[in-house]
Amino acid sequence: MSSLAYSWTVDARSQLRVKWDACHTWRSYTFNAMILTVTGWALLYFIVEHLGFNKYVAGLAAAPVIMFVVSYFVHRRRSFRKRKFVSEKCRQRYAAVRFGGMAVSKVSFVMLVGAGCPYLVVSICVTLVLAGPTYILNRDWAFAEEEPVDETEEGVSSGQSSGLTPPQ
- Three-class DSSP category at 145: coil
Q: What is the pLDDT of residues 49-80, one digit of tens each?
A: 999 988 888 877 888 888 888 988 898 888 88
Q: What is the mean pLDDT of the chain?
A: 80
Distance CA 67, CA 58 (A): 12
Of 42-46, 55-59, 101-105, minimum mean pLDDT range: 55-59
| 104 phi, psi to nearest 5 deg | -60, -45
| H-assigned helices in the chain | 3-45, 55-57, 63-74, 87-114, 119-137
Model pLDDT, residue 46: 92
Residue 87, pLDDT > 80, answer no
Query: How much is the pLDDT for 62?
Result: 83
pTM for the complete prediction? 0.63
Q: Is pLDDT at 156 greater than 50 in this prediction?
A: no
The pLDDT value given to residue 158: 46
Least confident range of 1-15, 56-70, 100-114, 151-165: 151-165
Structure letter (DSSP) for residue 46? I
Cα–Cα dist 61/120, whole Å? 15
CA gap 81, 158 in Å, rounded: 33
Q: Is the pLDDT score of 124 beyond 50?
A: yes
Angle between helices 87-114 and 119-137 (to 10 degrees): 150
